[in-house]
Amino acid sequence: MKRLFLGLCLLFSLNLYADLVADGFVEYKNNNYEDAIVLWTKACDGGDLDGCYNLGYMYEYGKGTRHNEQRASELYTMGCNAGDARACSNLGVIYEYGKGSVKQNFSKSSELYAKSCNLGNINGCYNLGVSYDRGRGANRDYEMASILYGYTCDQGQIEGCYYLAEMYRKGRGIQENKSEAKRLHAKACNMGSGNACSKYRRLDDEGIK
């Protein structure tokens, strides 16, 4: 299953360090990654969560610097502890896959996804749904997975729509309902999922209304 890592939006700040964060974003868009890192480091050192979050992204994906998942996890931990839902979700992904020097820990990842979701982050809710669906770091619970997929789908999350559709199509943990699967695949298809478009056509060929 596809995991949403962080949504590649790098966010602006509304506090005293907004100019540093915004200027860093301009440099990032112009592919001046090292300059962006300098600006976001200053913002993060001043306590700006957006600066720390963006800096964590740069270290996690090696933009303007070497990959350093340990440093990324430290920055995400700082943000998560301060209530940054995005940082909690990204940190969960690092623990789930055991990136770099950070050891894989499914229990920790699902805990972080739950915190992110409770703080209102759609990616965190989707990732938590996958954890329940797979039984990774949480007891396998198809009902909870379907609820979380449904919630994220309603919020415009393509993969939530796709995997809920697949649960209905296959009757995986919930009652099979190919008409509902077709509706959800149509929604995901219209949102840009090529896989959902293929599944929709397959269901249409089967004569599913």
Q: How far apart are the first and last CA of the chain?
A: 27
Q: What digits encode the pLDDT tens for the residues 11-63?
A: 544 456 778 999 999 999 999 999 999 999 999 999 899 999 999 999 999 99
Domain ranges of the chain: 141-209
| Count of CB atoms situated within 10 Å of the CB of 66 | 7
Fold of the domain built from segment(s) 141-209? 1.25.40
pLDDT for the residue numbered 9: 47
Whole-number Å distance between alpha carbons of 65 and 125: 30
Whole-number Å distance between alpha carbons of 77 and 55: 12
Whole-number Å distance between alpha carbons of 147 and 126: 10
Residue showing tokens 């790098």: 10
Q: What digits encode the pLDDT tens for the residues 142-188?
A: 999 999 999 999 999 999 999 999 999 999 999 999 999 999 999 99
Q: Which runs of consecutive H residues, i.e. helices, occur in the chain?
A: 18-29, 33-45, 49-61, 69-81, 85-97, 106-118, 122-134, 142-154, 158-170, 178-190, 194-205
Enter the tokens of residue 27. Answer: 């440099």
pLDDT interval class at 1 (50, 70, 90): low
Angle among Cα 99, 132, 138 to the nearest 5 degrees reads: 70
Q: If you average pLDDT over every residue of the chain, what do you get?
A: 92
Question: Has residue 140 got a pLDDT over 80?
Answer: yes
